[in-house]
A and B are shown apart, each in its own frame.
Chain A
Amino acid sequence: MRDFVVRVAFIGFSAFVGAFFALPMLWLVFAPFDSTPTLAAQIPEFTLENFSDLLSNASALRSLGNSLILVAGVVGVVLLVGAPASYVLSRIKFPGRDVFLYMLLLMSSVITGAAAMVPLFLLTFELGLNDRFPGVILVLAGGMLPASIFILKDFTDTTPRSYEESARVFGATTLQTLRDVVVPVIRPGLAVISVWTAVNVWSNFLIPFILLRSPSKSPAAVLMYSFYTEGGQPNLRLIAAFSLLYTVPILLLYGYVNRKYGFRFHGGLKS
């Protein structure tokens, strides 16, 4: 009898959780393929016209391109500047290094875009980077570098130094050692931080919203917002198709890395 009650409660709970998480998402699944979408999730009158309309919408396509530029920029900065730094920080020890890194990580959680939006806005203005992609890229990179370095350093720590040492005994140059040994060995770490950075930048609304004023520079996150807030009747066909097109790449990317390398919690998060 008690088992039965537990079982019913269990099924009920699972059903509730499933409904809670699935219902708001249904619209994103159905509406993009519906010739007359409404705000309610409904079985669509199937069409792909929404997408062909979207492909002829210049500002929508441009915004996706803008998002791509931002992602490439921030991932680029994180990899080019952060990865070498984390390698060095893993291999060369100086007093207080770990405390320093932990403080940096803490700081990047404390100093957020929301809390520092005013100085960030003014800083990019003073540097002549307002309404320009490099401004957004550097601000986002500044916020993401500490955690990226922390995760990647953690990863490098677990790869034995004897890998590099043995390459050196064979006479490999620094460049050869990095290219043939170090980079391939830490590649999963690089992939994880790249995807983590990409997902964050692709979705980030606040920083480009504040720092980019020209509508032609808006990334998808900002354009999506203006689609449903800027006066008049929102164009649901456009919004639906755009939402899906904007969402799918990031889901695929996440799924790929998750499948290939698995979701892992690294150092700082483990406590």
Chain B
Amino acid sequence: MTGKGTDRRRRSSGGDLVTRGGAATIVAPAAAVVAVFLVFPALWTLYLGLTNRGLTGINAANPQFVGLENYTTALSDPALWNSLQVTFIFVSGSAIVGQAVLGFTLAWVFRNWQSWVRRALELLVVVAWIVPSSVVAFLWVAFLDGESGTLNAILGIETEWLLRHPLLSVIVFNTWRGTAFSMLLFGAALNSLPPSYLETSRLAGASPLQQLFDIILPSIKGYIITNLLLISLWTFNDFSPYLITGGGPAGATEVLPIYIYNESIRFGELGFGSAISAIMLVINLLIALSYLRAGRSRS
């Protein structure tokens, strides 16, 4: 019995190191941690969003059920719409345009290039990704400082970048911060392409751009979708603009996580914050599902 089918049968049999009952016992602790600290909070926030739970005072001890009030309040709050708009620009600018395009370009440029320059550049990009976020945040605060920042010193000007162009600044920051992942993933994708693909099209006389659009991008579509899914989700849920601008000035960089933080933890409106959390979870889910759908329709 060497066939695949029999293999599968063999796998489902008893006589393993662990029995089925034993297996359940071994998986249970992991399942419990995930259920209590990941799944339950998501479900609970749906309920909390329907109450006026507060951080302190009477609404903390004895919250009331208020129905959809939090949602109607939220949807008529211009700050929420501002936050959604800022978040949208932040995600599309830094994740999709910034990280994905720059990451792909780097992977593409580096693909056949063996030299210390390539390794040094790759190392720089990866280090930017590994350094803890509160450190890189400060590095950028210093880099962009109006009076004595390195950027202004090089350009010979005195622009207060974080005040004059706050959203652009955090977009550039996040591109810098996260390009490594896209570069590595696309590098792996390009590596996985059999050389015969490109050789065939070169024999047919295709230009590099034609090769890119006709052969390479379609062949690594799965990687592209996975990459976009992950980096959009990560960027959408990124709290690090808070470390640079605190969401300001005047809400200019108040992405949704900062908005939730301000409303619920800082101002103590936990019920209201939960409602926004629920909205955010739904958006997360929609991003995930839409990419999954796109991923499925390619086959």
The 4 A-B residue pairs with the shortest CB-CB distance in the complex, in nearest-first order: A142-B37, A114-B257, A119-B41, A203-B132
Q: Does B212 contact A (CB under 8 A)?
A: no
Q: Is B97 an interface residue (CB 8 A)?
A: no
Any chain B CB within 8 A of the CB of A41?
A: yes
Q: What is the CB-to-nearest-CB distance from B84 to chain A, in angstroms, rounded to a whole number?
A: 14
B18–A114 touching, CB < 8 Å: no
Chain A binder among B73-81, B136-144, B158-166, B197-205: B136-144
The one of A14, A104, A107, A142 that contacts B36, using a Cβ cutoff of 8 Å: A142
Residues from chain A with Cβ under 8 Å of B34 in the complex: 104, 108, 142, 145-146
Interface size on A, residues (CB 8 A): 88
**A236: nearest chain-B partner, CB-CB:** B142
Q: Is the pair A168, B17 in contact by a Cβ cutoff of 8 Å?
A: yes
Q: Are B41 and A123 in contact (CB under 8 A)?
A: yes
When chains A and B are docked, how far (Å) is the Cα of A185 from the Cα of B101?
38
A119 to B47, CA, bound (A): 10
User: Within 8 Å of chain B (Cβ to Cβ): is A13?
Assistant: yes
A91 B18 Cβ-Cβ under 8 A:
yes
Q: Size class of B's contact patch?
A: 35 or more
Do B134 and A247 touch (CB < 8 A)? no
- Chain B residues in 8 Å Cβ range of A203: 131-134
Is there an interface contact between B281 and A110, defined as CB atoms closer than 8 Å? Answer: yes
Task: Mark out the residues of chain B between 18 and 37 whose CB falls within 8 Å of any chain A CB in the assembled complex.
Answer: 18, 20, 22-23, 26-27, 29-31, 33-34, 36-37
Collect the chain A residues with CB atoms within 8 Å of residue B132's CB.
202-203, 205, 220-221, 224, 246-247, 250
Question: Is B265 on the interface with A (CB-CB < 8 A)?
Answer: yes
| Closest Cβ–Cβ distance, residue B235 to chain A (whole Å) | 11
Question: How many whole Å from B233's CB to the nearest CB in chain A?
Answer: 5
Tell me the residues in window 170-191 of chain B with beta carbons closer than 8 Å to chain A beta carbons. 176, 184-185, 188
Choose from A24, A85, A117, A202 the contact partner of B264 (Cβ within 8 Å): A117
Secondary structure of the A contact surface, majority rule: helix
Contact with A along B78-104 (1 / 0, CB 8 A): 000000000000000000000000000
Instruction: Judge whether B277 is part of the interface by a CB distance below 8 angstroms.
Output: yes
Q: Are A21 and B148 interface neighbours, CB within 8 A?
A: no
The residue in chain A whose Cβ has the minimal distance to the Cβ of B172 is A20
Given contacts A24-B139, A115-B42, 16 further A-B contacts (CB under 8 A): A14-B121, A17-B125, A25-B127, A39-B147, A41-B150, A81-B33, A110-B284, A111-B41, A114-B260, A116-B41, A138-B36, A205-B132, A205-B134, A205-B239, A247-B135, A271-B222
A84 contacts chain B at the CB level, 8 A cutoff = yes
* Any B CB within 8 A of the CB of A239: yes
Interface locus among A45-53, A54-62, A186-194, A262-270: A262-270
Cα–Cα, bound, A3→B191 (Å) = 25
